[in-house]
Amino acid sequence: MKINEIKDILNDNPDEKFLNSLHNDPRKGVQTALKQYYKRVESLQKKKEAFIKRFKYEKSFWNNGIEYVAGIDEVGRGPLAGPVVACAVILPHDFNLIDVNDSKKLSEKKREELYNKILDQAVSVGIATGSCKLIDEVNIYEATRITMRNAVEKLSIKPEQLIIDAMDIDTTIPQLKLIKGDQKSISVSAASIIAKQYRDQLMKEYAEVYPGYEFEKNVGYGTKAHLKGLKELGVTPIHRLSFEPVKKNLK
């Protein structure tokens, strides 16, 4: 059998008999392909174990008779422009997307791929935005709390338990405040991916309305190009007037 044919089989869930037959194959290319196969298997196993570990909070609640657990996360607290976006996600008990993790650890391509898959599998998803006006009126922390609560209220099913990334919100629903929740809870990770993708797309649309700030690249953060745009073009309706250096560019 040619080495390329062997590689194809190794990429297609080979049985133990086939794997054992390769151990005595003297060809270097075969042995390299075999080592790469075992490395992939080991990596996948670690990923599965990490996935199971990040599901422990949800499973603990489920095992105690709590059916609907919502993970909540936000994105966009630091930018100079654009809204803060929050997402609440209720996942099914058989959720199986092992690549779901903290959105900051994923590439844009992977986030986009997972975004659609999460929407397909989720029991319910709620997305809310907190406007620049709200941020300027109540401060970014309070605006985030309000937006998170609104995301929960947009769920089609009322959750019995919330898992929130490092925050607490004004609600009668029991909530678990989890530091680095987007790394510890699959539900919060899923919410972080949805919120990130939703906000990034929103900022790309704003970039067409307000060119010259590179919102499509910096999504509202204070990059060099963004600051240059502020200085030359001034403040737009989506800028946070209470944030520096937006304040000093008000004219």
How far apart, in Å, do the first and last CA atoms of the chain sit? 74
Per cent of the chain over pLDDT 90 is 71
User: Which element (helix H / strand E) includes 46?
Assistant: helix 28-53
**Cβ contact 84:103 at 8 Å:** no
Percentages helix, strand, coil for the chain, rounded to the nearest 5?
55, 15, 35
Across residues 82-98, what is the average pLDDT? 96
- Where does 96-173 show beta strands of DSSP type E? 124-130, 161-165
Side-chain-facing half-sphere of 231: CA atoms under 13 Å: 7
Ramachandran quadrant class, 126 (left: phi over 0; alpha: psi -120 to 50; beta: rest): beta
Q: In the CATH hierarchy, which top-level class contains the domain 56-202?
A: alpha beta
Domain-wise residue ranges, the chain = 3-53, 56-202, 205-249
243-249's contacts with Cβ under 8 Å and 24+ in sequence apart are 243/80, 245/80, 246/80, 246/81
pTM of structure: 0.86
pLDDT at 251 over 70: no
Query: pLDDT digits over 100-123, tens only?
Result: 988 888 888 999 999 999 999 999
